[in-house]
Structure 1
Amino acid sequence: MNPLYHKARFLLSAPDVSHLPPDTGSEVAFAGRSNSGKSSAINALTGQKSLARTSKTPGRTQAINVFPLDESRRLIDLPGYGYAKVPAKMRAHWQRALPEYLAARESLRGLVIIMDVRHPLTDFDRQMLEWCVQAGLPAHVLLTKADKLKRGPGMSTLQRVRSELDRDFPQTSAQLFSAAKGDGIEALHRQLDEWLEESEKQQAESY
């Protein structure tokens, strides 16, 4: 397990892309439909109970939260999407801002898309994946709350999701994840290591 992720700390909540830290180094972003378990996944990943605020109220994350890991690497928590009770003006704002962030942020190395294993690949999820394709950005699907399903149905869902991703969004990976049981944390660490450490190597070689 990479101890880097346990060093995550809260830096700021940005109301829009222009208020983010300088676009240097490397970062991985997390996006997911409201109430999909995004905050719980970030907390499990970092081994911290309250780094990302969890709430039973969907749509709680309405800004871009920045969690530095060290001087050059960051985790980014994007606003939850797909929740109808968010004010229409704010929904329209993020509908513009999210694809802008994915396409224009040069330090962004990959996007982790959080989906409830019981309700994967919604229209909103597919929209995020489409934006990743347009931005040339790799994505990794995290099927959360896997403890809510028995192993057989969980693996069956994973196989179905991977099949649909291979067909519609090739080069997008997927895994099962349970924040409650800690299942899938090491696999997620490996994916983030691949994105962040490869970036560090490329930057070092460029000097």
Structure 2
Amino acid sequence: MIHKAEFVVSNTNPGNCPKPDRAEVAFIGRSNVGKSSLINMLTNRKELAKTSQKPGKTQLINHFKIDDRWFLVDLPGYGFAKVNVKVKLGWEQMISTYLTKRENLCGVFVLIDSRLEPQKIDLEFLLWCGTEGVPTAIVFTKADKQSKNKTQQNIQKFLKKMREIFEETPDYFVTSSETGDGKDELLDFIMGLVNEYENEEMI
């Protein structure tokens, strides 16, 4: 359980991120996938990450310090955001630099809308992460918005596509920001990454 979550800094330059002196996990997903709601649910804070009905609200790398121990990072969404091409390219450069160069990054959670059939943009992003060696896990969001059966069908279709790209399926979690489903499992997994990072740093 998270007891304390505080905003640290927002910026567009990965080089200006806080000193990489503790474990860090990041959340990313297509615009309007429910990223801010998920972060608020995990941290028990209604307004920590700003939610918006307008896709593409997060345009910066947002760092939050959790329990004075590790960083949680809210990254800009990809796809759909109504911005010009130049701005979009700048975002992509910023995200790719952050994901490949941030040395204390021990996990990236890619959010997938569980209501949708597999989306090409999500699969392409996960393929890029795999190619670049970015440590990823999948978080299926909005599981409360339809029947459990439908959610499972969509998840299985997505995982099948993943198996076509990779030899094995990455870790995945099924969540709902409304009901809190998946919260404990996801936090346990994150704390496992944090502990592992801290143990390696001590060696």
Fold match by TM threshold 0.5: yes
Partner residue, 2:171: 173
Partner residue, 1:131: 128
Which residue, out of 193, 198, 203, partners 2:196? 198
The answer for unaligned runs of 5 or more in structure 2 is none
2:37 aligned with 1:40: yes
| Contact kept in structure 2, 1:39 and 1:54, CA below 8 Å | yes
Written as runs of structure 1 = structure 2, the 5 A alignment for 1:22-37 is 22-37=19-34
Q: 1:27 is matched by which residue type in structure 2?
A: E
Distance 1:188 1:51 in 2: 18
Distance 1:127 1:101 in 2: 18
| Superposed displacement of residue 171, structure 1 | 4.8
| Superposed displacement of residue 121, structure 1 | 3.9
| Superposed displacement of residue 166, structure 1 | 2.8
2:3 aligned with 1:11: no
Identity rate, percent: 37
Distance 2:117 2:18 in 1: 32
Q: Across the two proteins, how many residue pairs are aligned to each other?
A: 202
Further displaced range: 19-28 or 116-125: 116-125
Distance 2:150 2:182 in 1: 16
Partner residue, 1:159: 156
1:9 is paired with a residue of what secondary structure?
A: strand
- 1:109-145 C-alpha deviation (Å, 9 max, x unpaired): 0110111112254232123212321232221111111
Which residue, out of 119, 131, 146, partners 1:149? 146
| Superposed displacement of residue 162, structure 1 | 2.3
What TM-score do the two structures reach when normalised by structure 2? 0.92
| Contact kept in structure 2, 1:115 and 1:142, CA below 8 Å | yes
Distance 2:121 2:64 in 1: 25
Q: 1:95 to 1:79 in 2, by over 3 A?
A: same
Which residue, out of 98, 102, 107, partners 1:105? 102
Distance 2:3 2:34 in 1: 19
Q: 1:100 is matched by which residue type in structure 2?
A: T
What TM-score do the two structures reach when normalised by structure 1? 0.91
1:95 is paired with a residue of what secondary structure?
A: helix
| Superposed displacement of residue 71, structure 1 | 4.4
| Contact kept in structure 2, 1:139 and 1:172, CA below 8 Å | yes
CA RMSD of superposed structures (Å): 1.6
| Superposed displacement of residue 44, structure 1 | 0.5
